[in-house]
Structure 1
Amino acid sequence: MNRLLGITIFVLSLLMAWGWLEYDDFVHQPLNLPPSGINYHLQAGTSLRALADDLQQKEIIQKPILLEILARWSGQAGQLKAGEYYLPADTTPTQLLQILSSARVVQHSLTIIEGWTFRQLMKAVRANPVLVKTLDELDDQQIMARLGYENDHPEGRFYPDTYHFPRGTTDVEFLQRAYRRMQKTLQDAWTERASDLPLKTPYEALILASIIERETGLPNEREEIAGVFVRRLKRGMLLQTDPTVIYGMGERYDGNIRKRDLTRDTPYNTYTRKGLTPTPIAMPSGAAIEAALNPKAGKSLYFVATGDGGHYFSETLKEHNNAVRKYQLKR
């Protein structure tokens, strides 16, 4: 009897020693992950058992019971937080539980490009694979109403920048964030605007900034182009800017502007109508807004593209016509 008890104790000791060695090896051995690592999405409400089973099913671990023991032994069983996490290739089970308890979820990104129209913005939002789509079947007015701004025209209302967000963010949340950023940027710039501007409201500044954004891609030209437009507005001159005509043409624009396009009247044709367009024509950058509200002083009233991305500025119509012949007609 004593001999049988001794053998039993010995066998149990061996099993415990073997179990401890296996557990210790599991804790410090990296998970079965690809060299580039993976993004792992821990769904809300997932239990520790379900997590361990899912990892086994994905062949990331072999024995889910060991992960459960580790989580309960370390006190992290109740600390796991839902979200998408990046797991590097060398992640150990101990590190796995630390990562899943950290709430440092993966951040995805979407960039709103300076000069985009609202149509281009929505195309990018709808194509983004991470954002949760709730606006796909809505028109522009319905989208703005869903965002909480039903009386606003959408053009120009969203600040161009790169936005980071976790998986599960909705298209509404993304757009509201960009809208609020534009509102704050515009209001801050409006309070620091130059005196004696022919702009009555921040919205008029947004319209002018969008035209400036579409007229030049050179940062050092924005304030000078703004100065031309401001002086023309003060004198009651037509702005005569091609980007507004293009915007008014809509889907009729095929890459070329013809004489008939310049003479065909639309609310956005600044060759036929004085003043600003009724709405912005694009999403202006912060720099374009600053330029609109702090234009460069000078006397130039005209400018023409030189073909290298820049413009030639003129004070008189005669000088401007000469520049047009030099830079446009000869090309």
Structure 2
Amino acid sequence: MTQAIVVEGLRKKFGHREVLHGLDFAVEAGTVFGVIGPNGAGKTTTMRCLLDIIRPSAGSISVLGQHPRSAGTSLRRRIGYLPGELHLENRTTGRRTLEHFAAISGPVDPHHVNDLADRLNLDLDRQTRKLSKGNKQKLGLLQAFMHQPELLVLDEPTSGLDPLVQQVFHAMVREAVAAGATVFLSSHVLSEVQQAADAVAILRDGEIVTVSTVEALRMAAVRQLRFNSTGTAANDVGALLARVPGVANVAVRELPADGHAAGTVVATATLSGHVQPLVQELARLNLTDLVLEEPDLEEAVLTLYTGGADAEPAAGTVAAGSASSPRRAEGAHRA
């Protein structure tokens, strides 16, 4: 598969302070790539380097097969960009603003613009100074999508949008990818990225901690397990759970017979990893109740954010510093 973005050894210093510490990653063409991390992790700085808004201190960058510094406007016209902090001219309308961006990006179908505005429920003839934060964000999204670019780079794209408009945005992303575009988006909210992204990079303190699919993160996350069984002693249930890979924090107790079936055992535990081995062992028991909660992805990612002592990359991920496989992450620029 063709790589839309390739970055090697990306470093950025502001004065004596280095904020990006040798990032390596690649983004496959025709995919949605999300980068998540807390505020200040380096997401926006990375994107601005890719877009040649700021110059990296070291490293090499290729965007759509070209070097952003030397490619100039020919590359920028192939890219749609939504900055994290959108600044608009206040003394004009949304429509005039889009006409300005269209002059930079190249020909734009006015019917397509009107269709996107209708989907986003955005009045293009209102003065931009009268727009709410959410409507300004819609205008920013519209200018990024309107010329149907090959690459979309979206910094915190759903900021200020209500849930219904967020769903419209995700539909727009899916349609862009179906038409062959590559999408890079950043967020500090996992739920936003997991709805859209094929792959996810976790950025912390200017370094990529790991690159993974959402499914791999889900597999690595901890699930809470609780079940009741009858006909098997508590010690035997505990021994059975001990044989299951990924099971920990086991607590087993036998309920008093009063009000319960004789020999009712209640067990709780945590599970990380595959469910199938657990199911195979539990099939040996006479279960009367079973609860296996959805994995807590937020907690799993928070552990990676904070660098917890027990944090490990999920199976199928690429850890930061891996020399054997490039990391996949971010995007590039437009106007």
TM-score where L is the length of structure 1: 0.21
- The structure whose residues are more often strand, as a share, is 2
- The structure whose residues are more often helix, as a share, is 1
Q: State which structure, 1 or 2, has the greater radius of gyration over its C-alpha atoms.
A: 1
